[in-house]
């Protein structure tokens, strides 16, 4: 712990250059709360490292902060520095070749999940009240599930991504994690626009449920039952992807996202030859090989998937689905086992990503006390109403 940084980082959540404090610029609804930010968000006067030392060395410290950081400071929250991320946010696992693997205090032998790994670790350990993260392919929903936290993916484009290191711009969203529903909702009230959405239909996405391990089935059913009772309706059984397996949608997401990522970062990677972990290096190599024709064909399927999911939900539907396919993998799991879980999880998380829709992850535990997440998926722009519904439901189904 540095002399001027008041947090004893017992879980390895902070990056070395991220140990600083910024006082709120005003008092407000978030006064008394502390937060940290994933090291892909700009904070004026402090370097943004994006999880890679070469990125840190080749980019000047920003002169302006992300608008979200400014909003939170203006609402009275105190910023407690910057937390670790998987390199360029291109992973769901939560380890980093250069800065280490944060500790998941809710499951110490397991990873936190990523790429918002440090944010999840800091919140789970109670070192801050909430933390900004990002979600492209699941980078907040998965850590929320693995660490027993509240998390989400926001409607695409709803929150600013200015002052944010991109990964796949067509999928990147700004998000946050919190250790309790009240704090999660308080932050939502400051960052999200109000919404007039009223939910009247409940959907059970059979194909997404089938991809999750058996330990998810009881909490999924509890949430489904509580939601049906709350709305006084009978759940509808549907497939998120009625015509093809969700694995096909995952490959579509991976193709489009990789193509976008290489357009954004390919020149920098080629010029500076940064050192990446083997898994992330392999993803960037694959991204460099995605042709324009392959990306174009995948975008056609993506457009169809987007229409399909949005039509299923309409303006008043809520779907229940797992936040991840498994409990958090062990820290010593083999690369093959990690990748198998990642692919299965991304077949679930790609639903919201392809459709550009909000998804809120509610924290639950297995009978053995292991953390896991159950999600609500709602119509575009329904984020605040969806969060309020989730907080009410959790009190009934936890």
Question: Of the residues 38, 65, 66, 241, which is catalytic?
Answer: 38
Please tell me which residue in 139, 174, 323, 375 is annotated as part of the active site. Answer: 139
Question: What is the model's pTM?
Answer: 0.96
pLDDT at residue 397 is higher than 60: yes
**Any idea which fold 16-191 has?**
Amidase signature (AS) enzymes (3.90.1300)
pLDDT given for residue 1 in this prediction: 41
Could you report the per-residue pLDDT of 177-199, keeping only the tens digit for each?
999 999 999 999 999 999 889 99
At the second CATH level, the architecture of 201-246+291-397 is: Alpha-Beta Complex (3.90)
CB 327 within 8 A of CB 368: no
Residue range 75-82: mean pLDDT, rounded: 98
Structure confidence at residue 196 (pLDDT): 84
Q: Which pLDDT score, from 0 to 100, does residue 3 have?
A: 56
pLDDT of residue 395: 82
pLDDT digits (tens, 9 = 90+) for 250-279: 999 999 999 999 999 999 999 999 999 999
Q: In what order do the strands lie in the sheet with 371-377?
A: 151-153, 359-365, 371-377, 317-322, 201-205, 236-238
Tell me, letter by letter, the H, E, C secondary structure of the chain: CCCCCCCCCCCCCECHHHCCCECCCCCCCCCCCEEEEECCECECCECCCCCCHHHHHHCCCCCCCCHHHHHHHHCCCEEEEEECCCHHHCCCCCCCCCCCCCCCCCCCCECCCCCCHHHHHHHHCCCCCEEEEEECCCCCHHHHHHHCCEEEECCCCCCCCCCECCCCCCCCEEEEEECCHHHHHHHHHHHCCCCCCCCCEEEEEHHHHHHCCHHHHHHHHHHHHHHHHHHCCCCEEECCCCCCCHHHHHHHHHHHHHHHHHHHHHHHHHHHCCCCCHHHHHHHHHHHCCCHHHHHHHHHHHHHHHHHHHHHHCCCEEEEEECCCCCCCECCCCHHHHHHHHHHHHHHHHHHHHHCCCEEEEEEECCCCCEEEEEEECCCCCHHHHHHHHHHHHHHHC
Q: 65, 66, 115, 145: which is the annotated catalytic residue? A: 115
**Would 16-191 and 201-246+291-397 be classified into the same CATH topology?**
yes
Residue 82 annotated as catalytic:
no
Mean pLDDT of the chain: 97
Read off the pLDDT of residues 334-372 as tens digits, 9 standing for 90 and up. Answer: 999 999 999 999 999 999 999 999 999 999 999 999 999
- 308 included as an active-site residue: no
Mean predicted confidence (pLDDT) in 283-311: 98
Q: What is the pLDDT of residues 44-62, one digit of tens each?
A: 999 999 999 999 999 999 9
Reply yes or no on whether the pLDDT at 2 is more than 70.
Answer: no
Proportion of the chain above pLDDT 70, given as a percent:
99
Tell me what pLDDT residue 149 has: 98
Q: Where are the domains of the chain?
A: 16-191, 201-246+291-397
User: Which pLDDT score is estimated for 195?
Assistant: 86
């Amino acid at each position: 712990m540095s002399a001027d940084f008041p947090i004893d980082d017992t879980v390895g959540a902070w990056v070395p250059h991220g140990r600083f404090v910024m006082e709120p610029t005003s008092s407000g609804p978030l006064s008394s709360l502390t937060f940290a930010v994933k090291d892909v968000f700009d904070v004026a006067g402090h370097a943004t490292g994006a999880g890679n030392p070469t990125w840190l060395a080749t980019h000047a410290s920003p002169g302006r902060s992300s608008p979200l950081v400014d909003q939170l400071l203006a609402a009275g929250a105190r910023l407690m520095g910057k937390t670790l991320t998987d390199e360029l946010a291109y992973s769901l696992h939560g380890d980093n070749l250069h800065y280490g693997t944060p500790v998941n205090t809710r499951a110490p032998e397991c990873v936190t999940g990523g790429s918002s790994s440090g944010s999840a670790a800091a919140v789970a350990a109670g070192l801050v009240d909430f933390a900004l993260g990002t979600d492209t392919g699941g980078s907040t929903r998965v850590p929320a599930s693995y660490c027993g936290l509240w998390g989400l993916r926001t409607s695409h484009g709803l929150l600013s991504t200015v002052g944010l290191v991109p990964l796949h711009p067509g999928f990147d969203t700004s998000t946050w994690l919190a250790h309790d529903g009240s704090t999660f909702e308080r932050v939502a009230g400051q960052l999200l626009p109000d919404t007039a959405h009223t939910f009247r239909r409940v959907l059970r996405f059979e194909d997404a449920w089938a991809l999750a391990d058996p330990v998810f089935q009881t909490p999924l059913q509890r949430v489904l039952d509580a939601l049906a009772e709350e709305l006084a309706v009978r759940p509808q059984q549907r497939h998120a992807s009625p015509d093809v397996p969700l694995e096909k949608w995952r490959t579509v997401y991976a193709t489009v996202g990789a193509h976008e990522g290489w357009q954004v970062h390919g020149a920098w990677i080629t010029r500076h030859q940064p050192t990446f972990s083997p898994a992330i290096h392999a993803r960037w190599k694959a991204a460099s090989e995605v042709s324009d024709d392959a990306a174009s064909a995948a975008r056609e399927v993506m457009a169809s998937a987007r229409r399909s999911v949005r039509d299923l939900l309409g303006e008043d539907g809520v779907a229940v689905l797992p936040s991840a396919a498994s409990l958090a993998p062990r820290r010593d799991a083999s690369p093959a086992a990690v990748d198998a879980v990642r692919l299965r999880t991304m077949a679930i998380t790609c639903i919201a990503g392809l459709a550009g829709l909000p998804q809120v992850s509610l924290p639950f535990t297995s009978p053995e006390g292991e953390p896991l997440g159950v999600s609500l998926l709602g119509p575009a722009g329904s984020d605040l109403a969806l969060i309020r519904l989730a907080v009410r439901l959790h009190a009934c189904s936890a």
